[in-house]
């Protein structure tokens, strides 16, 4: 189960990165989501498991609300 904990830590860090772009660099959060997904999201969206990309996209979208 440690691999799941590591994956969740990685996902959490990825999702927390977006608001930091907003607060520390002053970019709008929704634009930051597009930037992060374009730059770093390819392994997630191109994964053999579409649920991974969907899960991260949902978590990122929640930061936009």
Helix, strand, coil percentages in the chain from 3-state DSSP, rounded to 5: 85, 0, 15
Tell me the C-alpha distance between 44 and 60, whole Å: 13
- Whole-model pTM? 0.58
Tell me the C-alpha distance between 22 and 49, whole Å: 29
What is the residue extent of each domain of the chain?
2-63
Per-residue pLDDT at 21 = 79
- CB atoms closer than 10 angstroms to residue 47: 12
Per-residue pLDDT at 29 = 62
CA angle 1, 43, 36 (to 5 degrees): 105
What is the pLDDT tens value at each position of the chain, 65 positions in all?
677 777 788 778 878 887 787 778 777 666 777 787 787 777 777 778 878 777 877 887 787 66
């Amino acid at each position: 189960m440690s691999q799941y904990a590591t994956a969740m830590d990685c996902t959490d860090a990825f999702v927390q990165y977006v608001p930091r772009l907003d607060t520390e660099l002053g970019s709008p959060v929704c634009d930051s989501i597009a930037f992060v997904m374009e730059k770093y999201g390819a392994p997630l969206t191109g994964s053999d498991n579409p649920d991974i990309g969907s899960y991260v996209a949902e978590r990122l979208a929640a930061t936009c609300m």
